[in-house]
Amino acid sequence: MGTIGFRAPRNGACAHSGAGSGCRKGSKVTAGKKTPLYDSHVALNAKMVPFAGFSMPVQYSGIRQEHEAVRKAVGLFDVSHMGNFFVTGKGARGFLQRATVNNVDKLRDMDAQYSALCYPNGTVVDDILVYRLGPERFKLVVNASNIDKDFAWLENLRKEDKEGGDMALRNASEELGILSLQGPRALDVARQVMESDPALVATYKAGRGKVLGVDTLYSRTGYTGEDGFEFFPENKDLASLWARLLEAGSRYGMLPIGLGARDTLRLEAGYSLYGHELSDKTNLIEAGLSWITDFAKGDFMGRPALEPKSRPGGMERKIVGIELLELAIPREGCLIRAGGKDVGVVTSGTMSPTLNKGIAMAYVVVEQAKIGTELEVMIRDAGKKAKVVSRNFYKRAKA
């Protein structure tokens, strides 16, 4: 989701701050809002940067070390900058069925679902998670940079929805935090801190119970390519729960993880990030999300523009994975060429800490999108050899 991430700053520079900004580990950055864990991050010597209107930790011990901790052991993320909405009351289910692209009717109580909100022209308002907490009670998790926009969009849809019935939409983003536990040892840590057995929580399922004595909603999703759990405590409990989770996970090698490693992890796993692979300029289908778009469910916002018949000539471009065949680091905005012609552009790129090679996601013309196609990525005016690969650069070993 992407929800749901961060583009790692180039050459270690502070994101959105420019070279020579003087951003240091443990430094306090005043950039709009703070999560309740701001002081906790500073105390852990985190490098704080402005992100989506919040002061957030980009790294603690270092992006590569934090990345490897999640791949090999376990990490803890503060993602409390993300939005939490509740849609409740008679008509809530039907409203979300019409407002989102995925099929809400397939959800049972405590199911989670990856979905999206689209404009009438099929471009993306946001990619979101939908939780069914009860027959007429739903929770949405939205991207931090889109909280106000998403809420206004949903509120307008609610006002115009003639079938909505008696339902309420509430923005609880300033009431709840989100902590994400990710990595191959996440289940071990969860067993130490959860009152109920976390092994009984399947992927994309949720529950409610006590975590280190704190009553909270929890789920099992993630944005790293690893197993993991999310906890949604009230803000008053957030700092205490964060500290105690770090203590409980220390025996398994757990580290606090910043937004820099969150970005390299999600990119290795092939997860899209709003503002990069997804935006109000990208059609949901060309973005590779036809698998969450359920045309069988009936009418929904954006459907006419997303249906295949709306593109009689087919798609002009599509999202692909790119692997560099020589030592180079692709970055957002790098042009992609084939036969001396521009055929695409990089949306996200990095040097993969796990694969030790440059990887990227990019939009290219469909004629150059077949896996195995050789291309050039223009980096500092030089063409670097690359090829089209699956966007799932990294897949964790099955348990």
d(CA 243, CA 48) in angstroms, rounded, equals: 18
pLDDT for 59 equals 98
Beta bridge partners of 382: 379
Write the DSSP symbol of residue 397. P
Q: What is the pLDDT of residue 27?
A: 44
Q: Is the dihedral of CA 97, 102, 103, 107 positive or negative?
A: negative
Cα 25 to Cα 12, 28, 113, 164, distances in angstroms: 12, 9, 37, 49
DSSP 6-47: -PPPGGGPPTTT-TT----BT-----SEE-TTHHHHHHTT-E
| Domain spanning 10-81+176-269: CATH superfamily | Probable tRNA modification gtpase trme; domain 1 (3.30.1360.120)
**Do residues 233 and 211 lie in contact, with contact meaning Cβ atoms separated by under 8 Å?**
yes
- Name the CATH topology of 83-171: Alpha-Beta Plaits (3.30.70)
Residue boundaries of the structural domains of the chain: 10-81+176-269, 83-171
Query: Each residue of 362-390: b (16+ CB within 10 Å) or e?
Result: bbbbeebbeeebebbbbbeeeebebebbe
At 1 the pLDDT is: 63
Which two structure tokens, joined as six digits, stand for 81? 């900058």
Spatial separation of the C-alpha atoms in residues 157 and 97, rounded to whole Å: 12
Rg (CA), the chain: 21
Return the closest-CA partner of residue 332 out of 396, 271, 273: 273
In which residue ranges of the chain is pLDDT below 50?
2-30
Interatomic CA distance for residues 166 and 185, integer angstroms: 44
State residue 271's pLDDT score. 97
Distances (CA, A) of 70 to 73, 194, 223: 5, 20, 11
* Longest CA pairwise span in the chain (Å): 62
| Residue 3: per-residue pLDDT | 38
DSSP readout, 306-369?
HSGGG-TT--SEEEEEEEESSS----TT-EEEETTEEEEEEEEEEE-TTT-SEEEEEEEEGGG-
